[in-house]
């Protein structure tokens, strides 16, 4: 992968980033970020959804009382990096400085979308995210859950609340199908309001599909015919097997075709 990123108005070719030893981003993970997928090599593509990603950052900065970045400079950095990467991660520090990195799509993404993945239930309390409404640099709990899931051969971890209700995955929002309708956990349950989640809700309802935003209790989950997760990078990926422990597995049927209609569901 190309060792290049954008930081404080400069395009830098390096594998390292220089931060002050007292920088709150380094000490406490004090950044807010968004990760977007660039469609048609354009930030203005409807699939890229540039404005909504910037709004997500702006909302968190306002909530925390942090300084706004130079949005023109943020756009300039993203424009330069999109020539090298289909996925961009834009992070803003409390002082308004921007840091933009890029990466490739997962090599097995098409296979994941077609065949589904294995997920692991992260039932321990240490895997619960703080400030779940915001994408902050302190993503340690979700990262730990994902690393633990990988020990079991899973691609994703499913996070739970203190009552055992399913919330979200370590990188996306959950979707289920049962009783002839779609189900997704509500925002007030303590989940990230994903941009792909919002897009799918609007898309499905515009097609007269029913989307229920209800807490995912154990009883509700037991009746699902299919389960999937979504985010702006992978779009929608079915979950065909859920691991509760090394000895116990739940296999689910992918009984519904998951599609964004036009194949460009990057919002």
Q: What pLDDT is stored for residue 251 in this prediction? A: 46
**C-alpha to C-alpha distance for 249 and 122, rounded to whole angstroms:** 14
**C-alpha to C-alpha distance for 188 and 90, rounded to whole angstroms:** 25
Helix (H, G, I), strand (E, B) or coil at 24: helix
252 C-beta neighbours (distance < 10 Å), count: 20
User: Which of 68, 103, 138 lies at the terminal end of a domain, its last residue?
Assistant: 103
Taking only Cα atoms into account, the Rg of the chain, rounded to an integer number of angstroms, comes to 19
Inter-axis angle of helices 50-64 and 71-81, nearest 10: 140
Give the count of domains, the chain.
Answer: 2
Give start and end residues of each alpha helix (H) in 92-206: 109-115, 140-151, 195-206
Range of the domain at 129: 109-251
Residues 115-142 have a mean pLDDT of: 95
- Identify whether 49 is part of a domain: yes
- Identify whether 43 is part of a domain: yes
Are both 128 and 33 inside the same structural domain?
no
Q: Which residue has the tokens 């909504």?
A: 52
Query: Of 1, 90, 73, which is closest to residue 38 (Cα–Cα)?
Result: 90
Banded pLDDT at 2 (limits 50, 70, 90)? confident
Return mean pLDDT, the chain: 92
User: Which residues have a Cβ under 8 Å from the Cβ of 113 and sit 6 or more positions away?
Assistant: 234, 235, 236, 237, 238, 258
The model's pLDDT over 145-190, given as tens digits with 9 standing for 90+, comes to 999 999 999 999 999 999 999 999 999 999 999 999 999 999 999 9
User: Which of 103, 131, 149 lies at the terminal end of a domain, its last residue?
Assistant: 103
**C-alpha to C-alpha distance for 146 and 142, rounded to whole angstroms:** 6
- Identify whether 264 is part of a domain: no
Q: Which residue has the tokens 């897009």?
A: 199
Hey, which residues does 36 pair with through a beta bridge? Answer: 88
Q: Note the pTM of the prediction, 2 decimals.
A: 0.90
């Amino acid at each position: 992968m190309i060792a290049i990123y954008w930081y404080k108005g400069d395009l830098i070719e390096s594998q390292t980033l220089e931060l002050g030893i007292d920088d709150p981003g380094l000490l406490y993970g004090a950044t807010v970020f968004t990760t977007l997928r660039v469609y048609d090599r354009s930030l203005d593509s409807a699939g890229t959804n540039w404005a909504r990603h910037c709004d997500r950052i702006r909302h968190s900065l306002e909530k925390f009382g942090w300084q706004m970045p130079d949005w023109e400079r943020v756009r300039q950095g993203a424009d330069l990096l999109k020539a090298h990467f289909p996925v961009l991660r834009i992070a803003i520090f409390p002082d308004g400085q921007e840091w933009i990195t890029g990466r490739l799509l997962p090599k097995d993404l098409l296979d994941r979308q077609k065949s589904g993945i294995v997920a692991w239930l992260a039932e321990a309390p240490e895997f619960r995210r703080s400030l779940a409404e915001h994408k902050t640099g302190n993503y340690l709990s979700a990262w730990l859950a994902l690393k633990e899931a990988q020990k079991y051969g899973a691609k994703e971890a499913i996070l739970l609340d203190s009552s055992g209700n399913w919330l979200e995955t370590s990188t996306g929002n959950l979707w289920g199908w049962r009783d002839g309708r779609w189900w997704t956990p509500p925002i007030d349950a303590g989940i990230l309001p994903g941009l792909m989640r919002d897009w799918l809700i609007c898309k499905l309802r515009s097609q007269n599909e029913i989307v229920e935003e209800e807490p995912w209790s154990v009883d509700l989950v037991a009746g699902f015919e299919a389960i999937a997760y979504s985010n702006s990078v992978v779009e929608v990926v079915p979950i065909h097997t859920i691991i509760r422990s090394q000895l116990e597995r739940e296999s689910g049927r992918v009984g519904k075709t998951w599609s964004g209609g036009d194949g460009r569901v990057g919002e």
